[in-house]
C-alpha cells in the first residue's frame, strides 16, 4: 500500500502541472482586465497648500499683493488646484477678516471693567463684507456646539461675543472661508477642501457644506488629521455611511495620501461606500520643497509613472535664513521644479499624462472574472503542492487537498486574507521550484556528459537560465489575478509577507542543495545525520555570523522602509534617465550574473551549484516586482526584462573573467606550490 501511495504521489505531479497551466490560462483574462483599468485615469493634478501661502505672506510688506502675484505664478507654472483647510479664528485673523480679543483685551479696548465671572471671546469684523460673509461661519459652528453667540460692537465695527474662552474658541474648525474660496475660483483654481473629524458629526451641517462645495466645482476631498470625516461617531450613529451618501449624491470623491504612517481611520470603509471614487496623492513636504529642482522633478515623474500617483500636493513654509538675515520661502524652487529647469510637467507629459483634474480609475471587471479566479486558485494550490513534493514527496496529494480545503475555509472567513496568503505562497513556490529543477538538470547533465566543452557549458547555462526564468514567471499571472482588486492599486490594502518572500526561497534552495541532492530518501536522511554529526568549528561560527549580518542587511533593504545612500540614489536616477524604467540593482548587478556563473560552473563542478542559492534572489525579485500592485503591469514587465538582459550580459562577463582566472591559476599554481 505504501508503494502504491508513492506511485500515486509521483503520478500526481503530472496532473498538478496541468492544473498550473490551466490556472495560468485563466489568469490571463484577469490580467487583461487590470491592464484595461490601468489605461484609465491619465490626468495629473497639482495642488498647492493655500494656508502655506498665507503664512508666507505674513512676512511680506504687502501681503495681499504678494498672494495675488504668487497665485498667478503658480497657475502659470501648472498648479490647477488650491487646498483649503477648514477655517479657524486664528486663520481668519491672518487673512485680515477679523480681530479677536480675550476678555482682558476687550475690557482694555472698551474702557470697561472686566467682569470677574466672564471669560469670553470677542470678535470684530474688519469690513462690512467680512461681517456678512464670515458671521454665518462662526455662528453656525458655535451654535451647533451649544456655545452661545451674541452681537457685539467695537469702534463702529460689527462683532460677536462667543461665550467660551479664547483658547477654546480659536481651535474650533469652521467651514472654509467663502471669500477666499470664491477669490480662488475667480482666478481659475479648483478647490480641494481639507476636512477634519474633530467636531461631532452633524448631518444637516455637512449636507449644507457638501452642497456648497458642489456649487463651487469641488470634485475631491482630502482629510486632515488621522481620521476621515464621520469616523468618531460612526460606531454609534453610522455616520460614515451617512457621509458617503452625501459624497455620492454630490459626486465628490476622496484622496488617499501615499506613505502615511497609518491609514486614516474610516477611510477604507468610506472608499468602499463611495465605490472607490479615490485617487492617490503624493505630498512634497515643507522640508523637501527645498530640494534641488531636478530631484523634485524626478520624484514627480517617477511617482506618476511607477506608482499610479495622480495628484501632487505642494507644501511650502517660511524659514529664517540667518546667512542672509531674511525670511525666505521655497516658492521659486517649486516653480522652477515644475517648469524650467526642472521640467517636471514636461517629463510627466512625455510619459503620456495630461495636466488636469485627477480622476478615479474606471475599473474593468468582466462578468467571468470570478470564475477565472476560481481556476486561478486551483492552479496556485497545485503550484504550491508541486514545490512541497520536492521536499516531502509522500505528501504531494495531501498537500493539494489540504490546500484546497484550507483555501475554501479561509475564503469564507476572509476572502482578502485567502488571496494574499495564496499569492504569497505562490510567489515563494515558483522561483523555488524553478531553481530546484535547474539544479536537478545540471546534476543530471554532469553525470551524463563528462568534461563538457566550455562552449557547450555556456550555451547550456544560458538556455537553462532562460527556462528557469520562464518557469519562475508562471507565478506572475497567478499573483496578478489573485490580487486584482482596486484596493491594492489604491494601496488601501497591501500585499503582505514581503520579508518572507525575500528570505524563504533562498532558505529553501540552501536546504535543498545541502540535504536533497541525493536521489533517494535514504540519502537525504544520511545527509541530515552527517550534518548533525559534523563538529562545529570557529570557521562555522564566523561564517554563520557573516551570513547573519548579510541576511539582516538584505532584509533591511527589502520593501519600502529601506534606506538608500546618496550614491545609490544618483545611480538609480542614471538608470531611470537612461532606460526610462529602472531595473532592480540586486537583479542585474548580483543575482542574475551569479545565476549564469553558477549554472556555467555547475556543469563541471559539483559545488558550483552553491552560487544558485544567491542566484534565486533574482528569481524571487522578479516575482516580487509584480506584487507591487500600485505599479502598472507594463512598467513591471519592462523592469523585469531590463534586469534580465543586463544580468545576462554581466553574467557573460563574469564567465569570461572566471575563464581567464582559471587559466592563470592552472598556469601559475604549480609554481606557487613549489
Give the contacts of 385 (CB within 8 A, at least 6 positions apart): 16, 396, 397, 399, 400, 403
Q: How far apart are CA 545 and CA 539, in angstroms?
A: 10
The CATH number, out of the four listed (3.40.50, 3.20.20, 1.20.1070, 1.10.3470), of the domain defined by the range 44-86+176-355: 3.20.20
d(CA 492, CA 230): 18
Residue written as grid cell 526642472: 342
DSSP-derived secondary structure for 48-77: EEHHHHHHHHTTSSSHHHHHHHHHHHHHHH
Separation CA 625–CA 620 (nearest Å): 9
Q: In this predicted model, what pLDDT tens digit does every residue of 142-182 receive, in sequence order? A: 998 999 999 988 887 889 999 999 989 999 999 999 999 99
Give the pLDDT score at 43.
Answer: 94
The C-alpha atoms of residue 312 and residue 356 are separated, in whole angstroms, by: 12
3-state secondary structure of 13: helix
Q: What are 350's three cell numbers?
A: 512625455
Residue 452 and residue 603 in contact, taking contact as beta carbons nearer than 8 Å: yes
Write out the residue limits of the CATH 3.20.20 domain(s) in the chain: 44-86+176-355
pLDDT tens sequence across 551-572: 676 666 665 545 566 677 777 7
Q: Output the nine-digit C-alpha cell for 17.
A: 502541472
Q: What phi, psi does 153 have (nearest 5°)?
A: -130, 135
C-alpha distance from residue 248 to each of 195, 207, 219, 245, 384 (Å): 17, 12, 11, 5, 43
Q: Which DSSP state fits 528?
A: H
Q: Give the whole-angstrom CA distance, residue 47 versus residue 282.
A: 10
Cβ-based neighbours of 172, under 8 Å, separated by 6 or more:
88, 89, 141, 142, 145, 199
What distance in Å separates the CA atoms of residue 239 and residue 235, rounded to the nearest whole number? 8
**DSSP result, 406-467:** HHHHHHHH-HHHHHHHHHHHHHHHHHHHHHHHHHHHHHHHHHHSTT--HHHHHHHHHHHHHH
Task: Give the per-residue pLDDT at 314.
Answer: 96
Judged on CB neighbours under 10 Å (0-12, 13-18, 19+), 207 is middle
Query: CB neighbours (10 Å) of residue 480?
Result: 22
Q: Which residues of 80-109 are buried (b: 16+ CB within 10 A; e: fewer)?
A: bbbbbbbbebebbeebebbbbbbbeebbee
Q: Which three cell numbers stand for residue 484?
A: 486584482
pTM greater than 0.75: yes
Residue partners of 5: CB distance under 8 A and separation at least 6: 394
201: left (phi over 0), alpha (psi -120 to 50) or beta: beta
Where the chain has pLDDT below 70, the residues are 1-2, 113, 518-534, 537-540, 543-544, 546-548, 550-551, 553-566, 669, 671-674
Q: Is 317 helix (H, G, I), strand (E, B) or coil?
A: coil
Count CB-CB contacts under 10 A for residue 547: 11
Q: How many CB atoms lie within 10 A of CB 575?
A: 18
List of residues 6+ apart from 7 with CB closer than 8 A: none
Q: How far apart are CA 444 and CA 649, in angstroms?
A: 26
Q: What is the pairing mode between strands 253-257 and 278-284?
A: parallel
Per-residue model confidence (pLDDT) at position 532:
62
pLDDT value at residue 567: 75
230 Rama sector, left if φ>0, alpha if ψ -120 to 50, beta otherwise: left
Grid cell locating 585: 540593482
Helix (H) or strand (E) holding 193: strand 190-195
Amino acid at each position: 500500500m505504501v508503494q502504491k501511495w508513492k506511485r500515486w504521489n509521483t503520478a500526481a505531479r503530472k496532473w498538478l502541472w496541468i492544473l498550473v497551466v490551466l490556472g495560468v490560462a485563466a489568469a490571463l483574462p484577469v490580467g487583461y482586465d487590470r491592464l484595461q483599468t490601468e489605461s484609465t485615469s491619465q490626468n495629473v493634478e497639482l495642488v498647492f497648500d493655500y494656508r502655506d501661502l498665507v503664512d508666507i505672506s505674513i512676512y511680506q510688506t504687502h501681503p495681499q499683493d504678494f498672494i495675488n502675484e504668487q497665485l498667478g505664478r503658480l497657475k502659470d507654472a501648472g498648479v490647477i488646484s488650491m487646498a483649503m483647510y477648514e477655517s479657524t479664528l486664528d486663520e481668519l485673523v491672518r487673512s485680515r477678516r477679523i480681530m479677536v480679543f480675550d476678555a482682558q483685551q476687550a475690557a482694555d479696548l472698551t474702557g470697561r471693567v472686566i467682569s470677574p465671572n466672564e471669560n469670553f471671546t470677542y470678535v470684530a469684523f474688519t469690513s462690512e463684507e467680512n461681517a456678512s460673509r464670515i458671521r454665518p461661519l462662526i455662528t453656525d459652528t458655535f451654535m451647533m456646539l451649544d456655545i452661545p453667540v451674541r452681537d457685539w460692537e467695537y469702534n463702529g465695527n460689527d462683532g460677536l461675543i462667543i461665550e467660551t474662552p479664547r483658547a477654546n474658541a480659536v481651535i474650533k474648525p469652521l467651514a472654509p472661508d467663502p471669500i477666499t474660496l470664491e477669490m480662488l475660483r475667480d482666478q481659475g483654481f479648483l478647490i480641494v477642501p481639507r476636512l477634519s473629524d474633530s467636531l461631532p458629526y452633524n448631518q444637516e451641517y455637512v449636507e449644507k457644506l457638501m452642497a456648497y462645495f458642489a456649487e463651487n466645482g469641488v470634485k475631491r476631498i482630502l482629510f486632515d488629521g488621522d481620521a476621515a470625516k464621520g469616523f468618531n461617531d460612526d460606531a454609534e450613529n453610522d455616520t460614515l455611511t451617512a457621509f458617503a451618501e452625501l459624497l455620492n449624491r454630490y459626486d465628490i470623491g476622496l484622496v488617499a495620501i501615499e506613505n502615511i504612517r497609518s491609514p486614516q481611520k474610516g477611510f477604507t470603509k468610506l472608499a468602499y461606500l463611495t465605490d472607490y471614487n479615490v485617487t492617490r496623492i503624493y505630498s512634497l513636504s515643507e522640508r523637501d520643497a527645498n530640494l534641488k529642482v531636478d530631484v523634485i522633478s524626478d520624484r514627480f515623474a517617477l511617482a506618476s509613472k511607477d506608482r499610479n500617483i495622480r495628484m501632487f500636493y505642494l507644501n511650502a513654509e517660511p524659514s529664517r535664513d540667518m546667512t542672509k538675515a531674511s525670511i525666505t520661502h521655497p516658492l521659486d524652487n517649486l516653480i522652477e521644479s515644475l517648469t524650467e529647469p526642472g521640467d517636471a510637467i514636461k517629463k510627466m507629459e512625455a510619459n503620456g499624462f495630461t495636466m488636469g483634474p485627477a480622476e478615479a480609475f474606471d475599473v474593468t471587471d468582466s462578468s467571468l472574472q470570478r470564475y477565472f479566479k476560481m481556476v486561478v486558485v486551483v492552479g496556485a494550490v497545485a503550484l504550491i503542492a508541486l514545490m512541497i513534493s520536492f521536499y516531502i514527496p509522500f505528501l504531494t496529494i495531501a498537500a493539494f487537498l489540504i490546500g484546497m480545503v484550507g483555501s475554501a475555509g479561509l475564503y469564507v472567513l476572509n476572502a482578502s486574507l485567502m488571496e494574499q496568503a495564496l499569492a504569497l505562497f505562490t510567489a515563494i513556490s515558483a522561483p523555488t521550484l524553478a531553481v530546484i529543477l535547474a539544479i536537478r538538470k545540471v546534476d543530471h547533465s554532469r553525470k551524463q556528459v563528462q568534461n563538457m566543452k566550455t562552449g557547450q557549458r555556456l550555451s547550456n547555462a544560458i538556455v537553462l537560465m532562460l527556462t528557469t526564468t520562464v518557469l519562475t514567471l508562471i507565478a506572475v499571472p497567478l499573483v496578478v489575478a489573485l490580487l486584482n482588486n482596486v484596493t491594492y492599486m489604491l494601496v488601501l490594502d497591501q500585499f503582505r509577507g514581503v520579508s518572507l518572500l525575500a528570505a524563504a526561497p533562498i532558505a529553501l534552495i540552501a536546504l535543498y542543495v545541502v540535504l536533497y541532492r541525493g536521489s533517494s530518501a535514504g540519502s537525504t536522511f544520511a545527509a541530515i545525520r552527517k550534518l548533525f554529526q559534523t563538529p562545529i568549528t570557529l570557521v562555522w561560527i564566523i561564517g554563520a555570523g557573516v551570513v547573519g549580518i548579510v541576511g539582516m542587511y538584505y532584509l533591511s533593504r527589502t520593501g519600502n522602509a529601506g534606506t538608500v545612500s546618496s550614491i545609490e540614489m544618483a545611480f538609480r536616477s542614471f538608470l531611470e534617465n537612461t532606460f526610462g524604467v529602472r531595473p532592480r540593482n540586486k537583479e542585474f548587478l548580483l543575482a542574475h550574473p551569479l545565476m549564469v556563473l553558477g549554472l556555467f560552473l555547475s556543469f563541471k563542478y559539483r559545488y558550483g551549484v552553491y552560487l544558485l542559492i544567491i542566484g534565486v534572489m533574482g528569481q524571487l525579485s522578479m516575482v516580487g516586482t509584480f506584487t507591487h500592485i500600485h505599479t502598472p503591469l507594463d512598467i513591471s514587465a519592462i523592469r523585469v526584462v531590463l534586469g534580465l538582459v543586463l544580468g545576462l550580459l554581466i553574467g557573460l562577463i563574469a564567465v569570461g573573467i572566471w575563464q581567464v582566472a582559471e587559466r592563470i591559476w592552472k598556469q601559475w599554481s604549480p609554481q606557487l606550490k613549489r
